Amino acid sequence: PKGGGPAGGGAPPKKKPSPPSHVLTLGEINPNVLSAQYAVRGELVQRAAAIKEEMAAGSANVPFKKVLECNIGNPQAVGQSPIGFNRQVLSLMVCPALLDQPGVDALFAPDAIARAKEYLAAIPSGVGAYSDSQGFRIVREQVADFISSRDGLPASPEDIFLTDGASKGVGFLLSLILRGGGSDGLLVPIPQYPLYSATLALQETHMLGYELDEAAGWSLPISLLEAELEDAQAKGVATRALVVINPGNPTGNSLPYDNMVECIDFCAKHGLVLMADEVYQENIWDGGRPFHSFKKVLMEMSPRPNLQLVSFHSTSKGFLGECGLRGGYFEIVGFDPEVKAQLLKLISIGLCSNTLGQIATGLMVQPPRPGDASYEIYSGERDAILASMKRRATMLVDGLNALEGVTCNQPQGAMYAFPSITLPPKAIAAAKDAGKVPDTFYALALLEATGIVVVPGSGFGQKEGTWHFRTTFLPPESEMTDVVDRMTAFHADFMGKYA
């Protein structure tokens, strides 16, 4: 065409703008995700993972041969073996065809075969299909029987919901209870398990921290609850529920009966839901502080207060340590039927919890009984694990209390020690220069020198001016002496360096 223009004349076509290189940037995502923190899987764990990668590649320049993960209650990750009976039943549930194979009686215990057949009869579609949103009926009945036997009180499968571990159940209840808009609050213990602070950050809810009394064995003073509630009311915050972790995480305390009565009276007086995180109920180390469920305490009170109670349990703790199977449940008490229907609707959005976790929950609450073929082996495995945990707890805490400037309460329950550290002023100044919280600075130095992974107390919350770290006592008993020796040598060097 004449004139050198494009064929057919007219202006050349406009060049389309290039699409942005990133649809999402940090400035465009939900800001609540940015503000949420989960210390148990935070900076220390990420650095430990990097060290392990370097060690696997042969490029690590570290003075140790193994990273010891004492940061999280994950027993099987540090060598604990699974309970044999439970795994036999789970194997048969995953592959029911094994039941028809010649020689199955030689591979599996007769009561494991019988239990698998019982489950399969009640769940004809097997574990590969969705269950009811509330969970398999047969497992909920087993949970109700467990609660009835534990507490000497009736329990109904209609009030029990099976969940992917206790954490998912906590999330469901908080989604139900908290109304959004930034005006609701939740009373949470300090120190606390970071699940609560992270979830509240995501939901723009006020975390109303009440400090446990370390000097009194991490006791729960009701006067502090009253003061925190009054302060929240003065700020226009509507307090909706009280969280109690018993036995405690990270503190390892076990609440006395009378203190539990006070908590119930407090919640009833102020119209609060009581959320009882009871996942460590099998981990009791102080015979003078036995576990009491909040439901049992409530039902034994006379007159009985009008209370809405939710109790959580999990396959991840106790002596099972089945963290990866994600099994758990919660039981509700005193809830309005219409509210309960809305809770079921909320859970139904996710269809159901994982089915193997549901079976694992059934196995947790209905283990082999005396006279069953697997009972002797099962009880031997259980007792050995719990006895070893208690010895390891004593060994670790005694070692910590021998360190300069370190004090640690003996754990009454759970899987953790939460020692207090008095850090030298020069160490605190060095932490500030490095842009770190002092206990994070200490924990990072511990990791780099020893390979031991702990969680700074600042990740759980702590009384102002104090510093802590949380460590499990889950590494194998054969390695606990080495853990204590490594910590002792490091601490002496650290304190000398910053004296």
For the chain, how big is the Rg over CA atoms in Å? Answer: 26
pLDDT for residue 215: 83
pLDDT in tens, the chain (499 residues): 444 445 555 566 666 666 666 677 677 667 667 666 665 567 788 888 888 888 888 877 888 888 888 888 888 878 889 999 999 999 999 999 999 999 899 999 999 999 999 999 999 999 999 898 899 999 999 999 999 999 999 999 999 999 998 889 988 998 898 887 778 888 989 887 777 877 787 777 888 888 888 888 888 889 999 999 999 999 999 999 999 999 988 888 899 999 999 999 999 999 999 999 999 999 998 888 889 999 999 999 999 999 999 999 999 998 888 888 999 999 999 999 999 998 999 998 889 999 999 999 999 999 999 999 999 999 999 999 999 999 999 999 999 999 999 999 888 888 888 999 999 999 999 999 999 999 999 999 999 999 999 988 888 888 888 899 999 888 888 888 989 999 999 999 999 999 8
Interval 416-471: pLDDT, tens: 889 999 999 999 999 999 999 999 999 999 999 999 999 888 888 888 888 999 99
Q: What is the DSSP letter of 377?
A: H
pLDDT of residue 46: 86
The number of residues making up the chain comes to 499
How many helices and strands, by DSSP H and E, does the chain display?
A: 17, 14
From 183, 176, 181, select the one nearest 338 (Cα to Cα): 176
Tokens of 252: 């390892």
pLDDT digits (tens, 9 = 90+) for 394-424: 999 999 999 999 999 888 888 888 999 999 9
Angstrom distance (rounded) from CA 91 to CA 477: 29
**Torsion-angle region of 288 (φ positive above 0: left; ψ -120 to 50: alpha; else: beta):** alpha
Of the candidates 161, 196, 208, the residue with the CA atom closest to the CA atom of residue 38? 196
The per-residue pLDDT for 59 is 79
Full-model pTM? 0.86
In sequence order, what are the beta bridge partners of 310?
A: 275, 332
Question: What is the predicted pLDDT for the residue at 204?
Answer: 78
pLDDT, position 17: 67
Determine the Cα–Cα distance for residues 248 and 285; give it in Å rounded to an integer.
12
Per-residue H/E/C for 431-453: HHHCCCCHHHHHHHHHHHHHCEE
DSSP-derived pairing of the beta strands 309-314 and 328-333: antiparallel
> What is the C-alpha separation between 411 and 67, in angstroms, rounded?
24
Residues with Cβ within 8 Å of residue 351, at least 6 apart in sequence: 130, 133
Q: Which of 94, 274, 93, 76 is nearest to 189 (CA)?
A: 274
